[in-house]
Structure 1
Amino acid sequence: MPPLAGATLWQAVMAAAAGRCQCRGTCGKAHDKDGGRCPAVHGAYQAKHGRGWVHLLAAPADPAALLLPPHQAAALPKRQLAAWCRHCHDATLRTVKAQHATAAPAVEPDGLFDL
């Protein structure tokens, strides 16, 4: 079932992905058993990663773009979106946030209280 908002765009992304998660290892798993691509299929039952029904979401294809504010991510065109299962999306987002945090320059104190 498509989401309530943006159903047309979501359906276009899912059609381009053939209803399968498009992660190719950015989540930290190589997906070796499945040709390098996550095997999660929308609407299928997943026995691993929390068990339950797979519900794919359309989110930025570029992992760095997962850090975009929601209003900017929602404005991305179809060609910049990919189908993600929740597990791959969340794992990739954690990795990108960790990389961003370690790459951020250290904040120097302002000289207000220097003696």
Structure 2
Amino acid sequence: MNRVPPLGDAQGLWKAVLAAASGRCQCRGTCGTNHDKDGGRCPAAHGAYQTKHGRGWVRLIAAPAAPADLLLPPHQAAALPKRQLAAWCEHCHQATRRAADKTAQATPSAEPDSLFDL
């Protein structure tokens, strides 16, 4: 799937996040890969060609940096300040989001399952 950078005012935010990341994915292993060969950080660079994970051109996205925040509804994630965003390659973003979803499902909810205790 090709990802196109956002348009309008969001493009400035996307560019700022990519500049802060030096154009490289900021995953440090939350995706399940330790990235040891690359100094502990994902080697995917925006615009580079990747030979792993489906092959093709790397298109980084700006998304919440905290794995738990990746599960926020889109309108809440879009409202996060720049300091809470990170540059993600598609593979690391999806793998981290899946891991956060599994963790959230495994954590019991503090809310009751029903309105009334039977």
Shift of 1:4: 1.9
2:70 is the counterpart of 1:72: no
Bigger Rg, which one: 1
The 5 A counterparts of 1:77-96 are: 77-96=81-100
Corresponding residue of 2:59: 55
In the superposition, the TM-score normalised over structure 2's length comes to 0.88
Q: Greater CA deviation, 102-111 or 46-55?
A: 102-111
d(CA) in 2 for partners of 1:54 and 1:45? 6
Amino acid at match of 2:33: K
Corresponding residue of 2:103: 99
Amino acid at match of 2:99: T
Which blocks of at least 5 consecutive residues in structure 2 are unaligned? Answer: none
Aligned residues: 113
Corresponding residue of 1:2: 5
In the superposition, the TM-score normalised over structure 1's length comes to 0.90
**Which of 17, 20, 26 is the matching residue for 1:16?**
20
Identical residues among aligned pairs (%)? 66
Q: Greater CA deviation, 3-12 or 76-85?
A: 3-12
Shift of 1:7: 0.2
